[in-house]
Structure 1
Amino acid sequence: MIVAYGVANLLQSIAAARTSVHHTFDPGLLVRLASQRTYILGLLCQVLGFLLAFLARRDLPLFLVQASVAAGLGVTALLGVLVLKWVLPPAEIGLLALLLVGITALVLAAEPAQSRPLGPAMMIALTVTLVVLAVAGFFAVRLHGALGSVVLGSLAGVGFSAAAIAARPLASEHSVTGYIGNPLLYLLVAHSLLGQLLLGLAMQRGSTTAAVAAMDAAGAVPAAIVGLLVLGDRIYPGREWMAAVGFVVTLASVLGLTRYAEPQHHHATAPGGHPGGRASERTRLRAAGL
């Protein structure tokens, strides 16, 4: 799952760099991205990561699975350095090392257990969250640079977190009929699609590391809290301190990564957005390696 998400982040970043920046909340961005082979490959990797994560959530607590998704950021950064010649400052490299330490602590503290079912109140909460995220994303697209990456990435993270909350009890279904008839399936799909759109917008505005780090940080906290309080997620007795330290270190690392984020792509602007001109178009094509 970690490797699949890391490769997906990199490939989708390349596709975002080749697509004109959108300054409106336009779902058409997903259609334009989907016209690129690179994005399709990245999406396939993300689907693979999603399926592996879905299977993991059947028995593992959300604070572990969601935090482990953040480890994909390290794979993305490493591949970015090797393939795209990204330059990571020493502080960012140190934070990636801390991220690995935090996730390791969570792995050691998590106790496998099946999920409790979600009640009607939580189903309504997930539906309301979907609407709130869509409205927030409509206004957040006006932000630019690293700030836009962080805000949109955070909104994407909350969407993916809600999808993870829906997936945890859904994974306990034992038949196709049970899956299709469960409203959680459709909430999972809706939150995932919205999160995908928000992530695509975030990656266009600055550092991929910033967008993904913000997404991971925002995606880990809500799912961890709901998992422990509502879904019956467990920690091995005596290792509560390890889980707490691991979670804090993980979040501090991914949040710290946003502080050092600098734009690594130059884009043209989509029609109706801010003027870019032919010079910015040439710069975008050079940045995309074309």
Structure 2
Amino acid sequence: MIVAYGIANLLQSVAATRTTLHHTFDPALLFRLVGHRTYLVGLGCQVLGFSLAFLARRDLPLFLVQASVAAGLGVTALLGVLVLKWRLPAAEVALLVLLLVGITALVLAAKPAPSRQLGTAGVVGLVVALGVIGGLGSLAVRLRGAPGSVALGALAGLAFSAAAVAARPLASAYSFDAFLRDPLLYLLITHSIVGQLLLGMAMQRGSTTAAVAAMDAAGALPAAIVGLLLLGDKIWPGREWLAATGFAITLASVLALTRYAEPQHQHAGRPVPSGRVVPRPAERGLPGGAPVAPIPRR
């Protein structure tokens, strides 16, 4: 899952910088992105990562799975070094080691167990959350530059967090028929689409690193809290300190990695009358000139 998300991060960020900048909460952005072969390959990797994460949530607590999703940024950084010849500072090497330590601590602390069911109140809560995130997204999309990146990235993180909360009990469905009839399935799909749209718009704005930090902080913590309080997520007795330390180390390492990631340029394409985007050939990145910046996706 971590490897799949790491590849998806890299490829989708390339496609986003090659797409016309959007200033409205417009689903048409997703259709534009799908027109890029790079985005489609990245989306395939993301679907694979999502499927593996869904299966993991059947038995593993959300604090472990969500932290692991965020850890995909570490894979993105390594791919940047191997494929795009990014320079790897000593500080980034140390952060990657810390990231591994944090995930290891979470694995040792997590106690596998099936999820409790959310119930009607939980389903209603996810519906309300969807409306709130969508409403705030329609306002945040008007922001430009770093504030827009932070706001949209945080909202994307909340949407993916809500999707994770829906996925945990849904993964324990006793039959395929029950799986299809469960309203959590459709809330999971809707939250994921909204999160993907918000993420695409966040990737187009000035500060990718700020968007990454906001999304990771907003996405991992709420799902972990809901899992422990409502879904029956468990920690091995006496290892609560290990879980708390591992979660803190993992999240801090991911947020710090955004600081050392390849610098994000302003949106690389310049609109032309036909609506196409012409990349600036002088920018660093993949062939064709599009700049690259890592964005973890959920």
- What TM-score results when the alignment is normalised by the length of structure 1? 0.89
Q: Secondary structure at the match of 1:20?
A: coil
Contact 2:74 2:257 in 1 (8 A): no
Matched residue, 1:275:
none
Bigger drift between 50-59 and 80-89 goes to 80-89
Spell out the pairing of 1:215-226 with structure 2 (5 A cutoff).
Answer: 215-226=215-226
Distance 1:269 1:25, change over 3 A: farther
Matched residue, 2:165:
165
Matched residue, 1:197:
197
Q: By how many angstroms is 1:133 displaced?
A: 0.9
- Give the superposed CA RMSD: 2.4
Distance 1:116 1:87, change over 3 A: same
Bigger drift between 230-239 and 173-182 goes to 173-182
Q: Secondary structure at the match of 1:283?
A: coil
Spell out the pairing of 1:168-183 with structure 2 (5 A cutoff).
Answer: 168-183=168-183
Q: By how many angstroms is 1:208 displaced?
A: 4.7
Contact 2:61 2:110 in 1 (8 A): yes
Question: Once the two structures are superposed, what CA deviation does each residue of 1:128-153 show, in whole Å capped at 9, x if it has no partner?
Answer: 11111111112222333444333322
Q: Secondary structure at the match of 1:44?
A: helix
CA distance in 1, matches of 2:55, 2:144: 36
Matched residue, 2:251:
251
Distance 1:5 1:229, change over 3 A: same
Q: By how many angstroms is 1:206 displaced?
A: 4.2
CA distance in 1, matches of 2:8, 2:204: 15
Aligned residues: 284
Bigger drift between 106-115 and 261-270 goes to 261-270
Contact 1:150 1:258 in 2 (8 A): no
CA distance in 2, matches of 1:11, 1:229: 36
Q: What letter is aligned with 1:223? A: A
Q: By how many angstroms is 1:12 displaced?
A: 0.4
**Structure 2 unaligned spans of 5+:** 289-298
Q: By how many angstroms is 1:190 displaced?
A: 0.3
Q: Secondary structure at the match of 2:25?
A: coil
Question: Once the two structures are superposed, what CA deviation does each residue of 1:178-201 show, in whole Å capped at 9, x if it has no partner?
Answer: 111100000000000001111111
Bigger drift between 13-22 and 207-216 goes to 207-216
Q: What letter is aligned with 1:219? A: G
CA distance in 2, matches of 1:121, 1:228: 17
Q: What letter is aligned with 1:98? A: L
Matched residue, 1:268:
269
Matched, 1:115 2:115: yes
Spell out the pairing of 1:32-111 with structure 2 (5 A cutoff).
Answer: 32-87=32-87, 90-111=90-111
